[in-house]
Chain A
Amino acid sequence: MITRSISKQFKKNLIRSIPLYFMLLPTLAYIFINNYIPMAGIVVAFKKYSARLGIWGSDSVGFSNFTYLFRNDATILIRNTLLYNTAFIFLDLFFGIVIAIMVTDIFHKKARKIYQSAILLPFLVSMVIVSYIVYAFLSTENGMINAILSSLGQEEVMWYATPRYWPFILSFVHLWKGVGYGCMIYIAGIAGIDPALYEAAKLDGASKWHQIRYITLPALVPSLTTLLLLSVGRIFNSDFGLFYQVPQNSGALFDVTNTIDTYVYRALISVGGIGRSSAASVFQSLVGFILVVASNFIVRKINKDNAIF
């Protein structure tokens, strides 16, 4: 009796859901094509791909694409990707929070808004344009930095051929373009704190640092964890635009600018490179997936509310 009424209800809901399925159809179809079919295409990394035979028709070669990748190029790619991302995580976290605290502390309302808008502005600039701007500063013949150096009597630097400066240049460009993003999140987090907490702390004679340490930072922990979780999960993914576009694809710099994503692209367009390209890309996807799930699992253990899923 009960089961019958449940199945009746189910049927009713199912019929009522039909128009909803039609509304979902384009989105689900697109996601299936754009996101799911390429997942199945991962097998290409285990094949000797031939355009004539297609992914499924090509000969299987086991792990040889991976062994080739790890014998030749992998160390430097993984090193660059991991080191840059680790540096970026700390830089974003530190500058994001410090700037957010300063912006929200600004008493003058109009000024606060101006600072907030300015910090987010570079987020809207495309990486191609960023690379043009960087070039205006660093170009060997016409760049502004070299003009300043020579007017100070210093020797000019061939920036696009000197790898040792690039970890700093790329970190700076990354911060310039990206710090606003984290800032907005922290500003929203600070805006959600009850002002009464600060008033009470002030009455008790708490210093600015103590207010930050015991009120602001704890309130930011949830958004901080989410951001951290996302960036740890993406630690094998690099910002393709930053590493490909900003160094202007300069071969002399590959040692410090080649990351998994730039490698995947360059190998893909080079003749016969599709095997190592797909091996690197599959490695990135799989390790990234494991990292997201694992870091989420750990956060879940510590505090369930902060986990993403």
Chain B
Amino acid sequence: MIKSKSFYAYQSVIHFILILITLIVVVPIILLFMSSISSEKALISNGYSFFPSEFSLEAYRYIWLNRGTVFRAYGMTILITVIGTVSNVLLSSMAAYALSDKKLVFRRLINFFIFFTMIFNGGLVPAYIMWTTVFQIKNTIWALLLPNLLINPMSVILIRTHMMNSVPESLYEVAKIDGAGHRVLFTKISLPLSKPILVTMGLFSGLAYWNDWTNGLYYLTDSKYYSIQVLLNKMIQDIQAIQANSIAASAGTAMTVPQISIRMAIAFVALLPVLIIYPFLQKYFAEGIALGAVKG
């Protein structure tokens, strides 16, 4: 295929613009990293910079000395992300399987029951009162797991639609003749054939748990339960939050807090796993978003 001159001109222009956009996107994240490995002195005298006058790992060393707090929060994040995501995918796919069965009695009613929550909600105040008084989740691990994140009605509907469209009815029929019940149909046919959508929905759930700081903001005051994002949020107002459970603080070690770089270091550590898995799972994220725009 012969390319005309205008083809190359157009390609150069859009490459140029997209490279610019890519830089705008990536540069702030690089700044985050660079300031986490700057020395505190350089940050104070020259400010945040891509080319710090002095490199230093003191922020990371401080995290290590105060690992009580940071590791605990990190562990909490991993714990709730794993438990939350596994329960989310498991419960959503079970519900989706049930809803994908056209013979389910009251199917439309149940569909509506799930769908309606997407267009109407009671708002923060009643939910807050309910979670704190009826369920008393304040300052428990449930605060990070339960409100809003456990099941996403949208993903139940998307998994259901996927199961209805891509699991052939005939497969069920054959299995039923062999005497298979719902349990076998679900675990042996429906789940394996829905793997792509389950990975996608699991990723979104995992990301939501990993990045959530609002539940911690509403329902946590006890630093014992802080996840890494909640810790970061508290550190905006109060740098001392990092010393809550630390060995250094209790031992009275007089290491001054590298106030600026430590924030950036913890933020970078919180972001790192996302940055690492993203290139491998980019496809699923893009697909998941595209799916969301298609009506369920």
Contact A124 B113, beta carbon cutoff 8 Å = no
Instruction: Tell me which residues from 243 to 296 in chain B have a Cβ below 8 Å from any Cβ of chain A.
Output: 260, 263-264, 267, 270-271, 274, 278-279, 282, 285-287, 289-290, 292-295
Report chain B residues within 8 Å CB of A127: 211, 213
Q: Does B101 contact A (CB under 8 A)?
A: yes
The answer to whether residues A285 and B207 also contact, given A14-B105, A41-B126 and a CB cut-off of 8 A, is no
Contact B290 A121, beta carbon cutoff 8 Å = no
Q: Does B32 contact A (CB under 8 A)?
A: yes
Cα A117 to Cα B35 with chains together (Å):
24
- Which of B105, B117, B146, B292 counts the most A-chain CB atoms under 10 A from its CB? B105
Contact B43 A23, beta carbon cutoff 8 Å = no
Contact B286 A26, beta carbon cutoff 8 Å = no
Cα A114 to Cα B159 with chains together (Å):
29
The answer to whether residues A24 and B98 also contact, given A19-B181, A117-B282 and a CB cut-off of 8 A, is yes
Cα A33 to Cα B290 with chains together (Å):
29
Q: Which of B59-67, B148-156, B164-172 contacts A (4 or more CB under 8 A)?
A: B148-156
Tier of interface size on chain B: 35 or more
Report chain A residues within 8 Å CB of B218: 265
- Which of A34, A42, A117, A142 counts the most B-chain CB atoms under 10 A from its CB? A34
- Which of B127, B146, B153 counts the most A-chain CB atoms under 10 A from its CB? B127
B267's partner among A111, A132, A274 (CB-CB below 8 A) is A132
Contact B110 A24, beta carbon cutoff 8 Å = yes
Contact B126 A38, beta carbon cutoff 8 Å = yes
Contact B28 A137, beta carbon cutoff 8 Å = yes
Closest residue of chain A to B285 (Cβ to Cβ) is A120
A137's partner among B48, B110, B121, B146 (CB-CB below 8 A) is B48
Q: Does A105 contact B (CB under 8 A)?
A: yes
Contact B123 A284, beta carbon cutoff 8 Å = yes
Report chain B residues within 8 Å CB of A146: 47
Contact A34 B18, beta carbon cutoff 8 Å = no
Q: Which of A75-83, A162-170, A180-188 contacts B (4 or more CB under 8 A)?
A: A180-188
- Distance in angstroms from A303 CB to nearest chain B CB is 13
Cα A226 to Cα B47 with chains together (Å):
44
Tier of interface size on chain A: 35 or more
Closest residue of chain B to A16 (Cβ to Cβ) is B103
Report chain B residues within 8 Å CB of A284: 123
Contact A30 B150, beta carbon cutoff 8 Å = yes
- Which of B129, B151, B211 counts the most A-chain CB atoms under 10 A from its CB? B129
Closest residue of chain A to B128 (Cβ to Cβ) is A268
Cα A181 to Cα B214 with chains together (Å):
21
Instruction: Tell me which residues from 101 to 133 in chain A have a Cβ below 8 Å from any Cβ of chain B.
Output: 102-103, 105-108, 111, 114-129, 131-133
A202-214 CB mask vs B (1 if < 8 Å, else 0) is: 0000001000000
Q: Does A281 contact B (CB under 8 A)?
A: yes
Q: Does B125 contact A (CB under 8 A)?
A: yes
Report chain A residues within 8 Å CB of B43: 142
Given contacts A54-B133, A147-B47, 14 further A-B contacts (CB under 8 A): A20-B97, A34-B150, A41-B127, A42-B126, A107-B11, A111-B15, A116-B282, A119-B25, A125-B271, A133-B28, A185-B290, A261-B124, A268-B128, A289-B119
**A–B Cβ pairs within 8 angstroms, 7 of them:** A17-B104, A124-B207, A133-B29, A185-B290, A245-B213, A282-B123, A284-B123
B interface, CB within 8 angstroms of A: 7, 10-11, 14-15, 17-18, 21-22, 24-26, 28-29, 31-32, 35, 43-44, 46-49, 91-92, 94-95, 97-99, 101, 103-106, 110, 113-115, 117, 119-130, 133, 146-148, 150-151, 153, 156, 181-183, 186, 207, 210-214, 217-218, 229, 232-233, 236-237, 260, 263-264, 267, 270-271, 274, 278-279, 282, 285-287, 289-290, 292-295
A interface, CB within 8 angstroms of B: 10, 13-14, 16-17, 19-21, 23-24, 26-28, 30-31, 33-42, 44-45, 49, 51, 54-55, 99, 102-103, 105-108, 111, 114-129, 131-133, 136-137, 139, 141-144, 146-147, 176, 181, 184-185, 187-188, 208, 223, 226-227, 233, 240-241, 245, 248-249, 261, 264-265, 268, 274, 277-278, 281-282, 284-285, 288-289, 292-293, 308-309
